[in-house]
């Protein structure tokens, strides 16, 4: 009965013959049939509230299985699922609601008064609540709805979701993702990473972001694999899950935190077949330490909200530390210079991608869309990268983070790699800040592993290895780098903090 809804049909087909199998393990878990029946109840309720194909359903709730069922229920109605980070304030939510004009907004009951005011200002027709235990006005009413909702027909070109980008500069943009982009990328990943019904995936990522919502959940569903669904990352819960799980999808901070824990051993990971990392750069050192401790080689991949996954290290071939691997089947990747010419091996440039995985444009931003998504389908990712002789891509940073000092380009990564290599350094972020003589000056913000670390040690190391214009004009030792929930270092906030360093 799901066959006419492009995404749903593909997410459901592998589990149809095995509806009694467990999809989500543990108390409060679900069989595949129970999971989809609940999604049908949400769909029936949404339809009863007048949600129509193409309408947006905005959802700002804590991570729960019910929230995943609501995602699929929304897709069943032909509407567009729009997840929002639970950390957003009411005024941030007001912007998203005004921009996306959803027919329904679902929020956590604990934030009723502020969220209702935001929704009222945006004229949202229906405002309902859902808590992490499945309660709230939406959850309670859905329980009384019948299952068996017949999904609305949708083609590959119809929208399934809008995800707002984290918006490191300017207004946050709504990336429009079609049924076809999500389904085709999921099918590629299931195949490339060899997911089967025998897999048990540890899901510890947030579900308002492409990594936890699409990469993890869609892959598990399409493969009819089971999940251990954790409310958030916690080493205790991960170590408890590892002996009965087979795969983990994580951001690099998961891996560094697990490495800090003496419970990480070859023995505890022996049932696992695959560790995947993405959403932020995994240091080569982390990759190597993980292999020493567990005998597993972390598989790093690269993607973004707008494109789903673009490249991945191979399952069978070499997984090269510090690289994001090869273009996935069906995804074209090229590295371009500023004049629009394609660059060759070992030349750093702007990464562009094309394929069925790429989004349909930014919601109500035709100019932004035209700037970044060309008519011939190439998307300018905003990332800088380089390809080695074997075709492996490495990410050098965001183009916005490129430093131009005295007229010369400095790629933060080439400085960071040298600093991170020092034994007393835990990690670093290199940024450009305004400077009267140089335009921008290179500044290194460093977290020490050993408190005895000094700025001079770092300056000496960089002076020995880098051209003078690339060497930091200032080295600042700090306790921690600012990161968002996906573990990405927030260079914009560092630039703001040190904006007046040379003035
Ligand atoms: P988001 O849209 O929040 O998923 O962020 C996408 C951005 O995260 C990309 O454009 C990259 O800058 C960065 N990113 C994702 N995966 C990786 C990776 N494996 N290594 C380095 N950067 C990554």
pLDDT in tens, 30-42: 999 999 999 999 9
| 214 three-state secondary structure | helix
Backbone angles phi, psi at 81, to 5 degrees: -80, 135
Residue-wise pLDDT for 375-420, tens only, equals 999 999 999 999 999 999 999 988 989 999 988 889 999 999 999 9
Distance CA 54, CA 75 (A): 10
178 lines ligand 1 (CB under 6 A): no
279 lines ligand 1 (CB under 6 A): yes
Distance CA 245, CA 135 (A): 29
Query: What pLDDT, on a 0 to 100 scale, did the predictor assign at position 503?
Result: 80
Look up tokens 């673009």; give the residue: 310
Give the residue, out of 166, 174, 277, 279, with the most ligand 1 atoms within 8 A of its beta carbon, to mutate for a pocket test: 279
CB 249 within 8 A of CB 215: yes
State the virtual CA torsion across 177, 179, 184, 186 in degrees, nearest 10: 80
165 lines ligand 1 (CB under 6 A): yes
Query: What pLDDT, on a 0 to 100 scale, did the predictor assign at position 408?
Result: 83
Query: What pLDDT, on a 0 to 100 scale, did the predictor assign at position 464?
Result: 85
Token readout for 25 is 């393990």
Determine which residue's CA is closest to atom 21 belonging to ligand 1: 281
324 lines ligand 1 (CB under 6 A): yes
CB 397 within 8 A of CB 384: yes
Query: What pLDDT, on a 0 to 100 scale, did the predictor assign at position 487?
Result: 87
Give the residue, out of 303, 326, 350, 413, with the most ligand 1 atoms within 8 A of its beta carbon, to mutate for a pocket test: 303
| 175 three-state secondary structure | strand
Distance CA 37, CA 197 (A): 20
| Helical segments of 452-490, H only | 455-465
Cα 303 to ligand 1 centroid, rounded to whole Å? 6
Helix, strand counts (H, E) of the chain: 16, 24
Determine which residue's CA is closest to atom 20 belonging to ligand 1: 281
Cα 224 to ligand 1 centroid, rounded to whole Å? 27
Cα 279 to ligand 1 centroid, rounded to whole Å? 4
Determine which residue's CA is closest to atom 4 belonging to ligand 1: 304
Cα 480 to ligand 1 centroid, rounded to whole Å? 20
Cα 49 to ligand 1 centroid, rounded to whole Å? 37
383 lines ligand 1 (CB under 6 A): yes
CB 158 within 8 A of CB 136: no
Which atom of ligand 1 lies closest to the CA of 381?
Answer: 10
CB 166 within 8 A of CB 484: yes
166 lines ligand 1 (CB under 6 A): yes
Give the residue, out of 161, 177, 216, 383, with the most ligand 1 atoms within 8 A of its beta carbon, to mutate for a pocket test: 383
* Residue count of the chain: 503
487 lines ligand 1 (CB under 6 A): no
Query: What pLDDT, on a 0 to 100 scale, did the predictor assign at position 170?
Result: 61
Cα 384 to ligand 1 centroid, rounded to whole Å? 11
Sign for the pseudo-dihedral over CA of 447, 448, 454, 456: negative
Residues of the chain below pLDDT 70? 166-170
Distance CA 299, CA 168 (A): 27
Query: What pLDDT, on a 0 to 100 scale, did the predictor assign at position 375?
Result: 95
Query: What pLDDT, on a 0 to 100 scale, did the predictor assign at position 118?
Result: 96
Kindly tell me the burial class for residue 110, based on how many C-beta atoms sit within 10 Å of its own C-beta (0-12, 13-18, 19 or more). Answer: exposed
CB 441 within 8 A of CB 405: yes
| 382 three-state secondary structure | strand
Determine which residue's CA is closest to atom 8 belonging to ligand 1: 279
- Helix%, strand%, coil% for the chain, nearest 5: 35, 25, 40
Which atom of ligand 1 lies closest to the CA of 175?
Answer: 2
Nearest to 315 by CA among 486, 196, 181: 196
Sign for the pseudo-dihedral over CA of 285, 290, 295, 301: negative
Determine which residue's CA is closest to atom 10 belonging to ligand 1: 304
Determine which residue's CA is closest to atom 23 belonging to ligand 1: 280
Fill in the DSSP letter of residue 283: P
Which atom of ligand 1 lies closest to the CA of 324?
Answer: 19
Which atom of ligand 1 lies closest to the CA of 211?
Answer: 4
Cα 487 to ligand 1 centroid, rounded to whole Å? 10
Which atom of ligand 1 lies closest to the CA of 301?
Answer: 19
Cα 27 to ligand 1 centroid, rounded to whole Å? 34
The distance of Cα 354 from the centroid of its chain, to the nearest Å, equals 19
Backbone angles phi, psi at 304, to 5 degrees: -155, 165
284 lines ligand 1 (CB under 6 A): no
Vertex 333 angle, CA 331 and 337, to 5°: 160
CB atoms within 10 A of CB 167: 11
Query: What pLDDT, on a 0 to 100 scale, did the predictor assign at position 68?
Result: 98
Query: What pLDDT, on a 0 to 100 scale, did the predictor assign at position 167?
Result: 58
Token readout for 469 is 């214009």
Cα 280 to ligand 1 centroid, rounded to whole Å? 5
Sign for the pseudo-dihedral over CA of 390, 391, 392, 396: positive
Look up tokens 């560790």; give the residue: 275
Fill in the DSSP letter of residue 500: T
210 lines ligand 1 (CB under 6 A): yes
| Helical segments of 151-233, H only | 179-192, 210, 219-223
Query: What pLDDT, on a 0 to 100 scale, did the predictor assign at position 439?
Result: 86
């Amino acid at each position: 009965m799901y066959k006419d809804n492009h995404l749903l049909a593909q997410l459901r087909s592998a589990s149809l013959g095995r509806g009694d199998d467990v999809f989500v393990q543990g108390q409060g878990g679900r069989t595949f049939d129970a999971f989809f029946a609940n999604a049908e109840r949400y769909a029936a309720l949404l339809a009863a509230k007048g949600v129509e194909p193409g309408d947006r359903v905005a959802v700002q709730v804590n991570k729960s299985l019910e929230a995943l069922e609501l995602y699929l229920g929304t897709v069943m109605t032909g509407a567009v699922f729009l997840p929002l980070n639970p950390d957003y304030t009411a005024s941030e939510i007001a912007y998203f609601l005004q921009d996306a004009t959803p027919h329904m907004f679902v929020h956590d009951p604990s934030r009723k008064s502020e969220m209702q005011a935001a929704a009222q200002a945006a004229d949202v027709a229906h405002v309902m609540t859902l808590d992490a235990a499945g309660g709230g006005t939406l959850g309670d009413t859905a329980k009384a709805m019948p299952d068996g909702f017949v999904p609305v027909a949708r083609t590959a070109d119809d929208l399934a979701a809008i995800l707002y980008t984290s918006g490191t500069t300017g207004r946050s943009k709504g990336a429009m993702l079609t049924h076809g982009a999500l389904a085709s990328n999921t099918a590629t990943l299931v195949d490339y990473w060899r997911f089967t019904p025998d897999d048990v995936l540890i899901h510890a990522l947030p579900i308002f972001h492409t990594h936890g919502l699409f990469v993890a959940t869609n892959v598990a569903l399409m493969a009819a694999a089971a999940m251990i669904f954790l409310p958030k990352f916690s080493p205790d819960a991960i170590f408890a899950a590892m002996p009965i799980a087979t795969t983990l999808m994580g951001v690099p901070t998961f891996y560094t935190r697990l490495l800090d824990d003496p419970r990480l051993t070859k023995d505890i990971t022996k049932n696992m077949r695959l560790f995947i990392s993405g959403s932020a750069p995994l240091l080569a050192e982390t990759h190597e330490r993980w292999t020493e401790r567990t005998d597993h080689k972390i598989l790093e991949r690269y993607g973004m909200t707008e494109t789903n996954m673009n490249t991945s290290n191979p399952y069978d071939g070499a997984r090269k530390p510090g690289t994001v691997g090869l273009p996935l089947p069906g995804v074209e990747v090229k590295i371009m210079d500023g004049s629009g010419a394609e660059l060759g091996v070992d030349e750093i440039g702007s990464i562009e991608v094309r394929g069925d995985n790429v989004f349909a444009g930014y919601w109500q931003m035709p100019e932004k869309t035209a700037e970044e998504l060309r008519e011939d389908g190439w998307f300018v990712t905003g990332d800088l990268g380089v390809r080695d002789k074997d075709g492996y891509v490495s990410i050098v940073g965001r183009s916005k983070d490129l430093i131009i000092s005295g007229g010369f380009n400095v790629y933060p990564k080439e400085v960071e790699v040298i600093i991170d290599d020092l034994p007393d350094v835990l990690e670093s972020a290199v940024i450009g800040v305004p400077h009267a003589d140089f335009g921008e000056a290179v500044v290194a913000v460093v977290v020490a592993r050993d408190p005895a670390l000094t700025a001079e040690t770092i300056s000496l190391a960089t002076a020995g290895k880098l051209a003078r214009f690339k060497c930091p004009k200032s080295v600042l030792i700090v306790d921690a780098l600012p990161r968002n929930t996906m573990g990405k270092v927030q260079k914009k906030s560092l630039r703001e903090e040190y904006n007046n360093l040379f003035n």
